[in-house]
Amino acid sequence: MLRVREGQLSELTELFERYHVPLYNFFLRLTLDKAVSEDLTQNLFYRVLRYRQSFEPGSGSFRSWVYRMARNVHADHLRQEQRVPGGVEEGLERVTDTDVPYSEEQFERLDKAMAKLTPDQREILVLSRYQGLKYDEISKIKDISVPAIKVQVFRALRQLRHLYFKQ
């Protein structure tokens, strides 16, 4: 990213190759819409290019910087649409592993429960559980303390558990 910041724009290709799939999945888990997630991913990398001068390596990693920007792209999308994402899109792609002891029905129930969470709850679970970000990285992305992140994750998991078993 430092080379991109200095004007070597061809280096953005490597960043795109490394991060576009996880960021697409981040958007997909938040929006539950493949086409919108593709658009948001594209918009995000446009913003990375446009705002490359705002990257400060001393204030965190590229990963936390790009996810902070991804949150802003998603928030802008929600404001523009004036709606909260609702239903689960048919055919949501899922990697299946024959060793996983969960049925497709259980995954569908999880998706439905995730869709019923508030956008903030869904976002914190996507960042921590699906994207595998550490609490200190999420803390930098959301600009709140690590203990506050832990509380948010705990509450979101509790709500998800409630919604999952209520079905």
- List the chain residues with pLDDT less than 70: 82-100
One-letter amino acid for residue 48 of the chain: V
33-57 tens-digit pLDDT: 999 999 999 999 999 999 999 888 8
Residue 88: what pLDDT?
40
- Cβ(75)–Cβ(44) under 8 Å? no
Paired tokens of 16 = 């795109």
Residue 19: what pLDDT?
93
- Cβ(140)–Cβ(60) under 8 Å? yes
Residue 91: what pLDDT?
40
What is the pTM for the complete model shown? 0.69
Q: How far is CA 5 from the centre of its chain?
A: 24
Residue 89: what pLDDT?
43
